[in-house]
Amino acid sequence: MLVYPAPAWLVGTYDANDKPNVMLAACGGACCAQPPCITVALRPATHSYAAIVARKAFTISVPSAKFVAQADYLGRASGRNEDKFAVAGLTPVRSEIVDAPYVGEFAIIMECRLIHTLEVGAHTLFVGEIVDVKAEDAVLDESGSPDVTKIAPMVYDIGTRKYHGIGDAVGNRGEVSAKVGK
């Protein structure tokens, strides 16, 4: 699956014992502006899969590049066997809106209510309605909008198996194309 760029997201859930769990996922993206929705796709064998089906909720916490080691660990361990939050030294925070935890240390959080489930093949696609977004003040620009350079999210390169940060701005939407066709 040579998808460029692919995100490095952390999916937060509660399992059947109310234990908070969090898993790295690179299969996902935005899918609707109104209501605001995103997709995340998981294999049924994952511990997170059963949790999303049962609770009909999940969170997406976006790790900044400085958390790359924790994010990578959260992609290779299973919450079935380990308390992944504890091992990674991260704090599970109970959402006040959906039945799922998020990562307290991360700057961008999306709290999602499951609204569609679609079996695609080895992965099942979940569509979550984003019922709240939390953004730390530290990642907002002067106008109050989140700034991707302050969030410093990661892109996962399946070809080289490396995580990358975000680079410099290369143009402003609606401005950089001013001369095209002129």
CA 128 – CA 145 distance, rounded (Å):
23
In the complex, the smallest distance separating the C-beta of residue 41 from a copy of itself, rounded to whole angstroms, is: 4
39 or 91, CB closer to a copy of itself?
39
**Residues 142, 125: Cα–Cα separation, whole Å:** 36
- Distance in angstroms (rounded) separating the CA atoms of residues 145 and 1: 32
Which DSSP symbol is given to 121? S
Q: Is the link from the previous residue into 35 a cis peptide, with omega within 30 of 0?
A: yes
CA distances to 61, 69, 103, 114 from 64, rounded to whole Å, are 10, 11, 12, 25
Which residue, 16 or 43, is less far from a copy of itself as judged by CB?
43
Q: Which is nearer to a copy of itself, 54 or 86 (CB)?
A: 86
Nearest alpha-carbon partner for 101 in 134, 146, 149, 65: 134
Residue 16 or residue 32: which is nearer to a copy of itself going by CB?
Answer: 32
Shortest Cβ distance from residue 25 to a copy of itself (Å)? 10
